[in-house]
């Protein structure tokens, strides 16, 4: 088994690469724009910009040369606000990158793909507080979410046209660290922001305290990056096991979350517990575009793939805290 991992030097990708290396060969393609080569020391690493790959980079040749049997495609831009400011660039990067991967896979006769999608595809469909299932009508609220939905459509079309065997994983709020050197100080999510503020002795902004939730703050489904990495391995195995079994396959789009929501204040309480510090919430205005509650219905991935999240909020925040402390003791070397 040789798996090509695009974006494998990134935060989530590097966790998956480390698990895959325990089972077989891995080739990483990453432009290192946000990823770090030192995260994937034991994998073969090729530096390339996928959105330019069709024109300038022989991705299909790379697949043939290494006997690649499957692809996990992470390489993409993921900042919602930036996607609103630079929509064309987001389409170029995210849709163009996947296009290059699909073309190369078809040409090199590689049929298995796991595609990183996002809960951002739901947009307005995920705002009423109930867990959202994959069957919901998607209404992305940003170009970022649109590019992920378009990506799923591209995969579905490639399945019909030439037999791509694929799955899209719709990630909910990913945080934590599976290994303390793989936490990501550059990821700006609530958990990393709160930890950073607490370490500086500052309060943490809470974007809105008047939502229709139990404590008035937004609720999200936080999933541990190590659980998410396990989900990729489980889905790759599922694709291998269901090869040639198209009639048996359900729609291969899966939510990856825990099925439980945590409020901003609950996250801050967990940071207080992990750090032993007093965490001071600083209520500020709502952030535009934030839905009150986004929680995954996780029945499909549990029933079809047999995967379930094993770690909760306490482990997510605890591991993120340890990674942050380890990171400042040992600053990364070899970063671009």
CB of 162 to ligand UFG, least distance (A): 30
> Binding of ligand UFG at residue 290 (CB under 6 A)?
yes
- 62 neighbors 4 (Cβ within 8 angstroms): yes
Residues designated catalytic: 144
- 152 neighbors 168 (Cβ within 8 angstroms): yes
* CB neighbourhood size of 61 (10 A): 12
The secondary structure of 37-95 as a DSSP string is GGGGTTSEEEE--GGGHHHH--HHHHHHHHT--EEEE------HHHHHH-HHHHIIIII
Instruction: Please identify, among the stretches 37-45, 200-208, 223-231, 232-240, the one whose residues bind ligand UFG according to the rule CB under 6 A.
Output: 200-208
What are the start-end ranges of the H helices in the chain?
Answer: 11-21, 53-56, 59-66, 80-85, 87-90, 96-108, 143-162, 190-199, 225-241, 264-275, 299-300, 313-329
> Binding of ligand UFG at residue 198 (CB under 6 A)?
no
Query: Which residues lie closer than 8 Å to 297 by C-beta, 6 or more apart?
Result: 131, 132, 133, 134, 255, 259
* Choice from 120, 138, 271, 324 touching ligand UFG (CB under 6 A): 120
Among residues 193 and 326, whose Cβ is nearest to ligand UFG? 193
Among residues 133 and 205, whose Cβ is nearest to ligand UFG? 205
* Choice from 154, 206, 228, 274 touching ligand UFG (CB under 6 A): 206
Among residues 159 and 290, whose Cβ is nearest to ligand UFG? 290
* Choice from 80, 136, 139, 269 touching ligand UFG (CB under 6 A): 80
Instruction: Please identify, among the stretches 45-53, 61-69, 84-92, 201-209, the one whose residues bind ligand UFG according to the rule CB under 6 A.
Output: 201-209
For ligand UFG, the binding residues in 159-188 under the rule CB under 6 A are: 173
> Binding of ligand UFG at residue 256 (CB under 6 A)?
no
**Cα 49 to Cα 33: distance, rounded to the nearest angstrom:** 9
**Cα 35 to Cα 43: distance, rounded to the nearest angstrom:** 14
Q: Total binding residues for ligand UFG by CB under 6 A?
A: 18
> Binding of ligand UFG at residue 78 (CB under 6 A)?
yes
* Choice from 43, 119, 155, 324 touching ligand UFG (CB under 6 A): 119
CB of 78 to ligand UFG, least distance (A): 5
CB of 23 to ligand UFG, least distance (A): 28
| Residue 279: C-alpha distances to residues 176, 265, 268, 323, 326 (Å) | 18, 10, 7, 19, 20
Among residues 109 and 202, whose Cβ is nearest to ligand UFG? 202
- 250 neighbors 304 (Cβ within 8 angstroms): yes
Give kind and range of the element (H or E) at residue 254: strand 253-256
- 273 neighbors 145 (Cβ within 8 angstroms): no
> Binding of ligand UFG at residue 105 (CB under 6 A)?
no
Using Cβ positions, the residue closest to ligand UFG within the complex turns out to be 218
**CA 262 to the chain's CA centroid:** 19
* Choice from 23, 130, 287, 310 touching ligand UFG (CB under 6 A): 287
Binding site for ligand UFG (CB under 6 A): 78, 80, 118-120, 144, 173, 189-190, 193, 205-207, 218, 220, 264, 287, 290
């Amino acid at each position: 088994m040789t798996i090509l991992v695009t974006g494998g030097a990134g935060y989530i990708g590097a966790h998956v690469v480390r698990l895959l290396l325990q089972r077989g060969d891995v080739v990483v393609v990453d432009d290192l724009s946000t990823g770090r080569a030192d995260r994937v020391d034991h994998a073969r690493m090729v530096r390339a910009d996928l959105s330019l790959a069709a024109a300038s980079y022989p991705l299909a040749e790379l697949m043939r040369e290494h006997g690649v049997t499957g692809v996990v495609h992470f390489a993409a831009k993921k900042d919602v606000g930036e996607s609103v400011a630079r929509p064309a660039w987001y389409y170029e990067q995210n849709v163009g990158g996947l296009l290059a991967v699909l073309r190369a896979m078809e040409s090199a006769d590689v049929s298995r793909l796991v595609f990183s999608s996002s809960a951002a595809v739901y947009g307005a469909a995920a705002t009423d507080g109930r867990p959202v299932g994959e069957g919901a009508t998607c209404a992305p609220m940003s170009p970022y979410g649109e590019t992920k939905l378009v990506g799923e459509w591209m995969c579905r079309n490639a399945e019909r046209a030439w037999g791509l065997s694929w799955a899209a994983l719709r990630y909910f709020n990913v945080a934590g660290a599976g290994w303390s050197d793989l936490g990501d100080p550059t990821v700006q999510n609530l958990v990393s922001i709160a930890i950073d503020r607490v370490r500086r002795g500052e309060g943490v902004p809470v974007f809105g305290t008047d939502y229709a939730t139990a404590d008035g703050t937004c609720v999200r489904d936080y999933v541990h990056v190590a659980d998410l990495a396990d989900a990729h391995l489980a889905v790759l195995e599922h694709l291998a096991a269901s090869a040639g079994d198209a009639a048996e396959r359900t729609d291969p789009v899966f939510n990856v979350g825990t099925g439980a929501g945590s409020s901003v204040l609950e996250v801050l309480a967990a940071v207080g517990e992990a750090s032993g510090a007093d965490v001071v919430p600083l209520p500020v205005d709502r952030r535009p575009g934030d839905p009150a509650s986004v929680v995954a219905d996780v029945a499909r991935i549990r029933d079809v793939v047999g995967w379930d999240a094993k770690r909760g909020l306490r482990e997510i925040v605890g591991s993120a805290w340890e990674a942050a402390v380890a990171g400042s003791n040992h600053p990364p070397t070899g970063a671009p």
